[in-house]
Structure 1
């Protein structure tokens, strides 16, 4: 390469730029542009964002970190829309809410709007069999909801909380006042028998 340095110095810079552009055009996978329409918008946005951030900052690690943060926020936004509540009243006149989807900072407000505090019977059971409680925002949402029910003289036990959710509520201790109805712990018969 050192031997050809004099020859390369004679080439105009525009010609070298043109050669580099032709290399880029030749090596780019053009079929990937057709896939862009089928990709989730968040992924396309992150690709463009990482590309622009890399070009501007000249720091690929920082651009990738930015992409990870944006995708994490997009994931939280999507999961916030996935919380649902199915309600029914049993023969004893107790209203049951079955919660589906994670309860976390992104879904805490929507969770509070799913339950009818003013109407209904004096006892309401919230069932978390298909849900998980994650973080202080979720704990705060549960606390505020149970306070609203208690002001109206209603009892609100929480059922089927996962061990992680119960642990999280236990750690919150005096910060939150919720009534957890303990589920029986079932074990497999004969699990402790040695053969």
Structure 2
């Protein structure tokens, strides 16, 4: 196996080690070492899994929310990024039902809901606002989201420019 690694490794890539993210370098070295000392199949599977987890971790950091109040006194939250299992907790922490006015709008125009964890995060947020007796509106959600949202049937507002995509969930046919 050492000969396979030695022959197939792109040795010129070593000059990029100082320029590449440290996590990518660690994964590459780990995969090479596992190929030599364990087996190539396990090394590839481990590399793919670690790379996918690293991607999810990094992608979850790109969730942002811009807040402003409109002329009717509503608080508008404009969500930007991808809402999925890795960013669902961060998403929930970005809202403050206790400090918000009576009417709140969450605009998902620049966001994308990917999986069931995201739907659960939205459902949980809806419940938090309802417990405080506040009116919450959700805008620019895809139609699939409405099917999956338990508590949001009456608070979703659909516009002409709403997104059309499918959520990765087994509840949809």
Q: TM-score, normalised by structure 2?
A: 0.81
Q: Kindly indicate whether the alpha-carbon contact (under 8 Å) linking 2:140 and 2:161 is maintained by their aligned counterparts in 1.
A: no
Q: TM-score, normalised by structure 1?
A: 0.73
Question: Partner residue of 2:106?
Answer: 126
Question: Partner residue of 1:72?
Answer: 52
Q: What do the CA deviations read for 1:157-194 (whole angstroms, capped 9, x no partner)?
A: 11011x3xx31441x25xx21121111359xxxxxxxx
Query: How much has 1:33 moved relative to structure 2?
Result: 2.5
Q: 1:120 to 1:76 in 2, by over 3 A?
A: same
* Aligned-pair Cα RMSD in Å: 2.3
Distance in 1 (alpha carbons) for counterparts of 2:95 and 2:20: 35
Unaligned runs of 5+ in 2: 163-173
Q: What do the CA deviations read for 1:61-94 (whole angstroms, capped 9, x no partner)?
A: 3311211110100000001111010000001101
Question: Partner residue of 2:69?
Answer: 89
Distance in 1 (alpha carbons) for counterparts of 2:10 and 2:50: 25
Q: Secondary structure at the match of 1:131?
A: strand
Greater helix content:
1
Give the structure, 1 or 2, with the largest relative contact order (CA under 8 Å, sep 6 or more). 2
Larger gyration radius, structure 1 or structure 2: 1
Q: What do the CA deviations read for 1:124-176 (whole angstroms, capped 9, x no partner)?
A: 00000110111111111111111010011111111011x3xx31441x25xx2
The size of the alignment, in residue pairs, is 156
Greater strand content:
2
Unaligned runs of 5+ in 1: 1-19, 187-195
Following TM superposition, the consecutive aligned residue runs of length 4 or more in structure 1 with deviations greater than 2 angstroms are 27-34
